[in-house]
Amino acid sequence: MQSRKFTFLFFILFCSNICAASELTDAEATELGNRISAINTALQNPAAPGAMQAITELGHDQRYYVMVRGWLMYQLQGDMSILEARQEQTSNTIRARVEFIRRAIRAIDLE
């Protein structure tokens, strides 16, 4: 639930900045919201089909690259903190997400 709140707040803040710079139509804002939601879903389930594609599609768009990379780094730092704190007791889910996020960052950086 908290992840959804973060995603929603992130979307609102991001859209307010984008709208200040350019006019987004309702359809464009909805599409952007759907793409952000797809990234959130991909981060929750990195093994899902199309998870990497959801991130790279928005991450390769130069208008949103900084947002996506920042979001990935924020999530990576949180997961790395969990790994360091729990060490041997960390679930495979966290380990898999860390590896997925690292690959995703490389993918959008090496466009």
Closest CA to 68 of 97, 42, 95, 98: 42
Amino acid, single-letter form, for residue 68: V
Per-residue pLDDT of the chain (111 residues; tens, 9 = 90+): 455 555 555 666 665 555 555 677 888 888 988 999 999 999 999 999 999 999 999 999 998 999 999 999 999 999 999 888 887 777 888 889 999 999 999 999 986
* C-alpha torsion angle, residues 52, 64, 15, 42 (rounded to 10): 10
In order of 9, 26, 49, 89, the CA distances from 70 in angstroms are 15, 25, 23, 27
Tokens of 70: 């920042």
pTM reported for the whole predicted model: 0.75
Number of residues that this document lists for the chain: 111
